[in-house]
């Protein structure tokens, strides 16, 4: 450093930092030989903290405000520098300004696909990415654990570590959450809030506050996405007859708008064939006779056992020979319980005396 620069720095008695970047987290105030004059002005702006380090030992941490560096304002540094004995010459100390504002729009994402077991699709691989925000809440811890002796510390120097931490915890949480992959889009907010709560204590170990994690996208591999799109399209088709009607109407409309085009002839032929097939199917289905009715058969209670099934003609013979009486219990598949034969429609007529009498003999 030249003589002029040395003299200039020794005359400067205002210590401050105005941040003209968007990513600087810690800045060390540069002074020739780290000499600070007794009585110098220290300006700490909003969202800043000033950390004094004397011979490798933290002396004081000051919040926003304007300070005059003297005995009454820096008691810890005073004890280190023996100011109580009237020592008022320049002293050597380092001043670190910590930017306590919120750093937002920091990126995180999975470098490699994560393996996931899905209840509907089985094994899947997914990717995820989003953003997060942090801010310094413990300047002393942040300097001790992360910054060390660097003069300028930016978000780029810690973002990789924080991103890896988020990705690792995301893999663990999403793997054990059991959320179906098709429902994840509706749970981005809940996932982000849950990740924030789970990971915040680990950020706290660095002197940082994890303000929020946002999950912006969870995606499937291209081949799986294509297969899922086909499956969705098939589901949306629904009734194939109605779908064919709709497609036929669209083709007819396009052909009518372009009557002179060669394509219209092919469309017309295709529509005609489709309509002919539909009409043929409709005629064929309309001409088919309904199924023949099946005769009703009954089971009969005989000596405490279920016998049968018997047709009505067979039951008529049993009435004739006396093995089926009006009180005999009968049952058929369309009945909910056993009932006396004479209370069942279709069997009561068998016990009509006129119905069981033989017809009159022919005249001789």
The 10s digit of each residue's pLDDT in 63-84 is 999 988 764 555 445 444 544 4
pLDDT in tens, 295-313: 778 888 887 788 878 887 7
Average pLDDT over residues 133-140: 93
Give Cα separations from 330 to 313, 326, 333, 346, 349 (angstroms): 15, 10, 11, 12, 15
- Residue of 268 and 48 predicted with greater confidence: 48
* Rounded-to-integer distance, Cα 291 and Cα 270, Å: 35
Average pLDDT, the chain: 77
DSSP conformation class of 145: I
Record the pTM.
0.56
* Rounded-to-integer distance, Cα 187 and Cα 73, Å: 51
DSSP conformation class of 146: I
pLDDT in tens, 179-206: 888 788 778 888 899 899 999 999 999 9
pLDDT in tens, 85-134: 444 556 677 889 999 999 999 999 988 888 888 877 788 888 899 999 99
* Rounded-to-integer distance, Cα 284 and Cα 306, Å: 44
Query: Which residue's structure tokens are 């995180």?
Result: 108
* Rounded-to-integer distance, Cα 79 and Cα 72, Å: 11
In this structure, are residues 106 and 184 in contact, taking their beta carbons and an 8 Å threshold?
no
In this structure, are residues 351 and 342 in contact, taking their beta carbons and an 8 Å threshold?
yes
* Rounded-to-integer distance, Cα 93 and Cα 33, Å: 9
- In terms of Cβ atoms closer than 10 Å to its own Cβ (0-12, 13-18, 19+), residue 201 is exposed
Secondary structure (3-state) at 300: strand
C-alpha of 46 from chain center: 38
* Rounded-to-integer distance, Cα 269 and Cα 292, Å: 40
In this predicted structure, what is the pLDDT of residue 259? 63
Q: How many residues does the chain have?
A: 364
Query: C-alpha angle 242/248/254, rounded to 5°?
Result: 140
């Amino acid at each position: 450093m030249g003589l002029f620069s040395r003299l200039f720095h020794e005359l400067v008695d205002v210590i401050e930092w105005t941040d003209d970047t968007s990513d600087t987290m810690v800045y060390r105030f540069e002074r020739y030989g780290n000499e600070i004059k007794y009585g110098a002005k220290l300006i700490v702006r909003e969202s800043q903290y000033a950390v004094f380090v004397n011979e490798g030992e933290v002396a004081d941490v000051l919040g926003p405000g304007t300070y005059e560096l003297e005995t009454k304002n820096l008691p810890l540094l005073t004890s280190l520098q023996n100011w109580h004995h009237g020592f008022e010459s320049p002293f050597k100390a380092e001043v670190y300004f910590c930017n306590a504002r919120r750093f937002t729009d920091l990126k995180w994402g999975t470098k490699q696909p994560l393996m996931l077991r899905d209840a509907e699709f089985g094994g899947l691989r997914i990717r995820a990415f989003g953003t997060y925000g942090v801010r310094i809440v413990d300047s002393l811890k942040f300097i001790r654990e992360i910054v060390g002796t660097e003069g300028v510390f930016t978000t780029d120097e810690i973002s990789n570590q924080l991103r890896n931490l988020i990705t690792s915890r995301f893999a663990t949480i999403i793997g054990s959450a059991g959320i179906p992959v098709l429902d994840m889009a509706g749970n981005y907010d809940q996932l982000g809030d849950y990740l924030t709560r789970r990971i915040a204590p680990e950020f706290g170990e660095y002197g940082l506050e994890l303000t929020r994690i946002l999950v912006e996208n969870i995606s499937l591999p291209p081949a799986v996405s294509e297969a899922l799109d086909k499956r969705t399209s098939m589901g949306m088709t629904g009734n194939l007859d109605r779908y064919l009607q709709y497609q036929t109407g669209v083709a007819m409309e396009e052909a009518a708008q372009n009557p002179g085009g060669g394509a219209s002839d092919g469309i017309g032929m295709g529509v005609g064939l489709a309509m002919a097939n539909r009409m043929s199917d409709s005629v064929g289905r309309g001409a088919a006779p309904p199924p023949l009715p099946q005769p009703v058969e009954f089971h009969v209670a005989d000596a405490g056992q279920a016998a049968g099934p018997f047709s009505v003609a067979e039951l008529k013979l049993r009435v004739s020979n006396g093995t089926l009486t009006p009180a005999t219990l009968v049952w058929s598949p369309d009945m909910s319980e056993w009932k006396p034969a004479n209370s069942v429609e279709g069997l009561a007529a068998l016990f009509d005396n006129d119905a069981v009498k033989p017809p009159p003999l022919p005249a001789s």
